[in-house]
A = this chain, B = another copy of it.
Amino acid sequence: MPNSQPSASSNLSVDQDRLWRSLMDLGRIGATPKGGVARLALTDLDREARLLFIAWCEEAGMSVSFDAIGNIFARRLGRDPSRAPILMGSHIDTQPTGGKFDGCFGVMAGLEVVRSLNDLGIETEAPIEVVAWTNEEGSRFPPCMMGSGVFTGKLDLDETLAKKDGSGLSVGDELARIGFQGKGSLKDHPVGGYFEAHIEQGPVLEDEGKTIGVVIGTLGQKWFDLILTGQEAHAGPTPMHLRKDALLAAAEIVRAVNTIALETSGTACGTVGRLEVFPGSRNVIPGRVDLSVDFRHWSAETLAGMVESLNEAIVRIGVQTGVTIEIIPTADFPPLSFHEDCVRAVREAAGHLGYTHRDIVSGAGHDAIFLAEIAPAGMIFVPCEGGISHNEAENAAPSDLAAGASVLLHAVLSRAGIAARRS
């Protein structure tokens, strides 16, 4: 009965053990002694992981191609070849001390969806594709989200190929060396929709005991570098009242960033992640401090207000401490709402499958942010242990990962359409 339409309420789900095994097998490539993964973009280890992923895709009957920045697309044909494919994916490169799940889960979940569709004998209307975006982490070659940025035209291909790592090797040379510099681009690759499953990388789902995060959008981000210039002086002979201590001013900035975020309602985040002290000697009053500020909020207007508060704090702290404070904007991403159809598809899938869920805003950047610019896009979050990510200790429960992949299966089917199911 090739045309039997399963009802929307069919209780389709993925194979939890197979998904987990794939994640563990992939995690062996670049495994670290502490249980994490160090598999930086365009290294030999990245190549090995790409080849394993491609072998699995071909085993699952998909045809594989890659584009000019090395993004890998594995296609499962649909009934209607004229329809643009629905993409599922994420990335398989990692941080230098990364984990087994960040990125890899989204790609392996996509593969597991295809394997499950094969098991269930389901043909979709639109083609579906599993995609592994190149260099999402940006650890070896900045910027992050490089592959999806080039694919969606947000980053220039030639400029990006010319980017170099710390040892002077370029993206283009390394792509060619590992054999993944292709020709394709968005022009000859329409996209009908995009879903990305990902570990939350934060503690909210775990904290509230929820299995699925229905990602409604991403926080806006405003990043700054601050340069604080005081007066370097000997720590012994310089009385407190004659000092211009750049680190004391920096400490006030750190507090202000924290206070501004705490006093702003809702999803506000404020972080000083980088802070360097010069000369950094225990008996010298710091003459200069460089630090970064990272503000995030769901509302563009509130985010602008946070920056205004920071500027007020800078003036106040400068006067108090006698330290000169320069502020330099370094990044500015507006808040993004995912496509309402995609968000609804994820929410309904979670509800239908009986998983506890909540709407959630992603605080981190993801390839889905760029994809949302060219096609309807959505994301699915699952809890990760302690909210820990970008860390070798990153962990997630097999059942939560399978739940996320099952939600992905339903969301993709809702968008691709079911053409036929083996009886």
Partner of A282, one of B247, B269, B274: B274
- For A268, what are the chain B residues with a Cβ–Cβ distance below 8 Å? 240
Known: A207-B242, A240-B261, A254-B247. A390 touches B234 (CB 8 A): yes
Q: Is the CB of B236 within 8 A of A365?
A: yes
Interface stretch of the complex, out of A61-69, A71-79, A171-179, A197-205: A197-205
Q: What is the CB-to-nearest-CB distance from A255 to chain B, in angstroms, rounded to a whole number?
A: 5
Q: Which of A270-288 contact B (CB under 8 A)?
A: 270-277, 279-286
Q: How far is A234 from B268 in the complex, measured between Cα atoms in Å?
A: 14
Q: How far is A389 from B233 in the complex, measured between Cα atoms in Å?
A: 7
Taking the complex as formed, is A232 at the interface, i.e. its CB lies under 8 A from any CB of chain B? yes
Number of A residues with CB within 8 Å of any CB on chain B: 64
The interface bits of chain A over 78-117 (1 if a CB of B lies within 8 angstroms of the residue's CB, else 0) are: 0000000000000000000100000000000000000000
Q: Is the CB of A273 within 8 A of B280?
A: yes
Q: Which of A232-257 contact B (CB under 8 A)?
A: 232-240, 242, 245, 247-248, 250-252, 254-255
Q: Is the CB of B363 within 8 A of A235?
A: yes
Q: How far is A247 from B286 in the complex, measured between Cα atoms in Å?
A: 17
Copies of this polypeptide in the complex: 2
Known: A204-B239, A238-B202, A391-B232. A283 touches B272 (CB 8 A): no
Q: How far is A386 from B245 in the complex, measured between Cα atoms in Å?
A: 15
Q: What is the CB-to-nearest-CB distance from A418 to chain B, in angstroms, rounded to a whole number?
A: 33
- Specify which of A271, A285, A363 lies most central, judged by the most chain B CB atoms within 10 Å of its CB: A271
Q: What is the CB-to-nearest-CB distance from A225 to chain B, in angstroms, rounded to a whole number?
A: 8
- For A365, what are the chain B residues with a Cβ–Cβ distance below 8 Å? 236
Q: Is the CB of A281 within 8 A of B285?
A: no
Known: A203-B242, A286-B273. A248 touches B258 (CB 8 A): yes
Supplied contacts A236-B294, A236-B364, A251-B255, 19 more A-B pairs, CB within 8 Å: A97-B279, A202-B238, A202-B239, A203-B237, A203-B242, A233-B387, A234-B363, A234-B387, A234-B390, A238-B269, A240-B268, A245-B271, A247-B273, A251-B254, A255-B255, A273-B281, A274-B282, A283-B364, A284-B390
**Could you write out 10 A-B pairs with CB less than 8 Å apart?**
A201-B236, A202-B239, A232-B388, A234-B364, A236-B364, A236-B365, A242-B387, A252-B255, A271-B283, A273-B280
